[in-house]
Amino acid sequence: MEKIKIFLASSNELKPEREKFEIEIYRKCKSWFDKGIFLYLDIWEDLSTRLSSTGSQSEYNKFIRDANLFVFLAYSKVDMYSKEEFEEAKREGVLFHPQRSVKTIVGADGKVRSVDFIGVKRTYDENGRFDPVLDPSISETMDADSVILAIGQKADLSFLKSEEKTLGLNQAASPKFSP
């Protein structure tokens, strides 16, 4: 069984988003288990009981270095620990693609093949309301074989409740493309 270690870091203000991300990772873990893939998630909050009494940042950095995937959630602030985790991930060669939005998920033969991204100039308006301004001058494509929806918002997926046999919703109300 292949074990993929994921480290999730974020500021305290994003605890609800971390919890949603954790749920999505474990749902994905269950669906990939029969394929021989186990997703192991370390969340910085959960590590405090496993660390020394100092709980030093250098101990968190060991988990970051050991991770196959580093996920960093940020909104309005980055505290000193999150900033150090971010810098450690950069030193380890993690590539970041900030200020991007999904433009298209490309598939073939019923499977995800890549994701096209578009730049984002601004996410919230001057009143703090979600009102993204996209930047079409920034465009990139990344190969992918799976997409985990973790955007912190709920999409209107009612259009998927169609008679087509290739579309639908699973029990978690997420898109199901290969029923």
**What CATH number labels 1-95?**
3.40.50
| C-alpha torsion 32→103→141→174, nearest 10 | 0
Per-residue pLDDT tens over the stretch 66-106 = 888 877 776 655 555 567 777 777 887 777 777 888 888 88
Per-residue pLDDT tens over the stretch 112-142 = 888 888 998 888 788 877 788 999 999 999 8
Beta strands in 33-110 (DSSP E): 37-43, 69-73, 100-108
CA 36 to CA 59: how far, in whole Å?
Answer: 30
Q: Which residues of 74-91 are buried (b: 16+ CB within 10 A; e: fewer)?
A: beeebeeebbbbbebbee
CA 54 to CA 64: how far, in whole Å?
Answer: 18
Domain parsing of the chain, residue ranges:
1-95
| Global pTM value | 0.49
- Between CA 62 and CA 54, with CA 21 as vertex, the angle to 5 degrees is 30
The rounded mean pLDDT for the chain is: 76
- Chain CA centroid to CA 32, Å: 16
